[in-house]
Chains A and B, each alone.
Chain A
Amino acid sequence: MDQILTGLELILQVQNIAMMIIGLIVGIVIGAIPGLNVPLAVALALPFTFQLSPLAGLSMLVGIYKGGTYGGSISAILINVPGTPAAAATAIDGNAMARQGKAGKALKLSIYASIFGELVSDIVLILAAAQIARFALSFGPPEFFALALFSLTIIGLVSGSGLTRGAIAGALGVLLSTVGLDPIEGEVRLAFGIYELTGGLKFIALIIGAFAISEALVQVEKIARDRLIVNVLEFSDRPQDNQVTMADLKKVFPSILRGTPLGIFIGAIPGIGSSIAAFLSYGLAKKFSKEPEKFGEGSIEGVAAAESANNAVTGSTLIPLLTLGIPGDVITAIMLGALTVHGLIPGPTLFQQQGDFITAFFIGMLIVSCLHFVIAIIGLPLFIRAVRVPHGILFPLVVVFCVTGTLVATSSLFDVFVMLFFGILGYFMVKFGFQIAPLLIGFILGPLVEVSLRQSLVISDNSWMVFLTRPVSAIFILLTLVIVVHTIWQRYKEVSVNEN
């Protein structure tokens, strides 16, 4: 009880609440704008958090994450262009409803389903995290190595760019993480005589470059090629088309109840992400629906299922980050960077050493979800306008914020050039069918992989068997092998079927 009161005292500060509100508004607006996505928003906000207290900074990032995940549904419903990949499933029925003049109903339903998913996910995070952290306290270097290897493999495989490309991007991330001082012996590596590289590549430069500048380059190409025209559907004048009735809620509740745990479960597994959760939940809702024929034609169950699942990911995806120090996706990887900058190292010891901070953060998550509901309902008419923001103003400002943010965070023009280099790298990766997420996760997990591997060999007298003699480590190594072999086998079968 004392800890809860201390947590409340810490989180209920004006700065923290203000940052939650700013984060939510920025997140919803950016989520609603086609072409901008949540990782880009979180990456751009990261330099600002360095000047804030850890709680205020993280509150803002959580607000952007939650707001952005929901915000994607606004453009998905109104113009059939998902603002975020997570809203792709929402677009199917949401836009069909909008074409029938029921945009208001679809938008409000997506708010209710999103907030329900979010709140339950936060509660699961709060209940599960401490238990997992307690268990993880017994982990040593071999366990952390096996866990990092497992996460890297999963993220590489399920990134959507295929086994080979995912693995290449992950390995490239690990390689880039080795630039600079070796974490154990202090030797300078891969600096090529450039003094600024001896300190290593800056995380912030990689994040902003790879996610924001690359997106700005992709968009300049799209605009040059297709000239983006946004046609927003009009709202119906009939009140029943813009309101969610009790009958509607009763109808969609089973879909929300199925989608929420599914989203929570998928969020807790590194690498899978909210778009897969939304599509799985959508499929499940269709399977159990009494009116499956209405799916794709404007089913309210379809919208609710997709939205509850994609927002339910937002809380549980923090479980591996906070308890094990393993980021489950790009956004949690950026949050890991934010925590590290403030001297907080995510992992089981964080719960031991910073109990008050964790309690305050958990209470903050619940407050963000409640504020999300209020802001989304009140601000809906304004957020709809975000869909129409001209790209001719928006993306030049994104580029300026990328440069300014990196400059402010690193105080070095060299790092701004490095950020631009990562932007170009990210652009070419996208052009050649590579995902950027494994690159980032590889960069984040690289030092953990290296340090835990070398420490494991030191404590075991250079015996590689140390990874197989400890149960937790052996399980993760085995799981990694099973997943790799299974993926290769699946790919082989696909190729065989295609050739026949």
Chain B
Amino acid sequence: MSQAKLDFVAGLTLFCLAGLLLILIPGQVETTEGDTLTPASLPKIATTFILLLAAALVIQGYLHRREDGETGLSNYFSVYVFVAIGVMFIYVSLIPYLGYVPSTALALAALMFLYGNRNLTQIVLVCLVAPPLILLFFRYTMLVLLPQGTLMEPVLKLFAS
């Protein structure tokens, strides 16, 4: 992606977000009258600053739109990144239900595959060994209990009895 295009896209996105936030700020901060600076002042100043600088980026991008100079930054957005983000969100969402160990094992398997690991033995071994080790490490050295999971509670009770 050319530097100009990058500036234009980044500037425009930030300009829209900052503009939207400036509209939203008065409804999000209760302001007190009388003082020079209120609780709303710094958010407003920072957002206005971003808005102006984003406008500068847009103008910069527009003025240099015919220049070819490559940025060296990749415009390649791999679908793997979005899948990885999805896996991370699903992983965290599953923790309260499945518990730490099963959800971590599942996440590890999916992520290892995404990071190009195709060695099944390695994947199985890491998934089986790493999550219980981390759980035990936190339980016995840091004295922190990681979630057991609401769905797993009956199974754990069965083992306990």
Residues of A within 8 A of B (CB): 48, 51, 164-165, 167-168, 171-172, 174-175, 178, 182, 184-185, 187-192, 213, 216-217, 219-221, 223-225, 227, 390-393, 395-397, 399-401, 403-404, 407-408, 413, 416-417, 420, 423-424, 427, 431-434, 446, 449-450, 453-454, 457, 462
Q: Known contacts A417-B92, A420-B92, A433-B71; is A450 also within 8 Å of B42 by CB?
A: yes
Q: Known contacts A190-B43, A397-B130, A420-B88; is A454 also within 8 Å of B114 by CB?
A: no
Instruction: Evaluate contact between A432 and B39: CB separation under 8 angstroms.
Output: no
- Total interface residues on B, CB under 8 Å, equals 67
Residues of B within 8 A of A (CB): 6, 9-10, 14, 21, 24-25, 28-32, 35-40, 42-43, 46-47, 49-50, 53-54, 56-57, 60, 71, 73-74, 76-78, 80-81, 84-85, 88-89, 91-92, 95-96, 100, 104, 107-108, 111-112, 114-117, 119, 122, 126, 130-131, 134, 138, 142-144, 146-147
Instruction: Evaluate contact between B81 and A221: CB separation under 8 angstroms.
Output: yes
Instruction: Evaluate contact between B91 and A403: CB separation under 8 angstroms.
Output: yes
Q: State in angstroms the CA–CA spacing of A191 and B95 once bound together.
A: 25
> Looking at chain B's contact residues, is the secondary structure mostly helix, strand, loop, or mixed?
helix
In the complex, which of the residues A164, A171, A454 contacts B37, with contact meaning CB atoms closer than 8 Å? A454
Q: Known contacts A172-B50, A392-B117, A433-B71; is A404 also within 8 Å of B138 by CB?
A: yes
Find the B residue at minimum CB distance from A191: B28
Q: Which residues of A contact B107 (CB under 8 A)?
A: 396, 399-400, 403
Q: Known contacts A168-B53, A221-B80, A393-B122; is A190 also within 8 Å of B29 by CB?
A: yes
Instruction: Evaluate contact between B112 and A396: CB separation under 8 angstroms.
Output: yes
Instruction: Evaluate contact between B78 and A224: CB separation under 8 angstroms.
Output: yes
In the complex, which of the residues B25, B71, B81 contacts A220, with contact meaning CB atoms closer than 8 Å? B81
Instruction: Evaluate contact between A220 and B114: CB separation under 8 angstroms.
Output: yes
B131, chain A: closest CB distance, angstroms: 8
Q: State in angstroms the CA–CA spacing of A392 and B151 once bound together.
A: 30
Instruction: Evaluate contact between A185 and B46: CB separation under 8 angstroms.
Output: no
In the complex, which of the residues A219, A450, A462 contacts B115, with contact meaning CB atoms closer than 8 Å? A219
In the complex, which of the residues A175, A213, A219, A423 contacts B47, with contact meaning CB atoms closer than 8 Å? A175
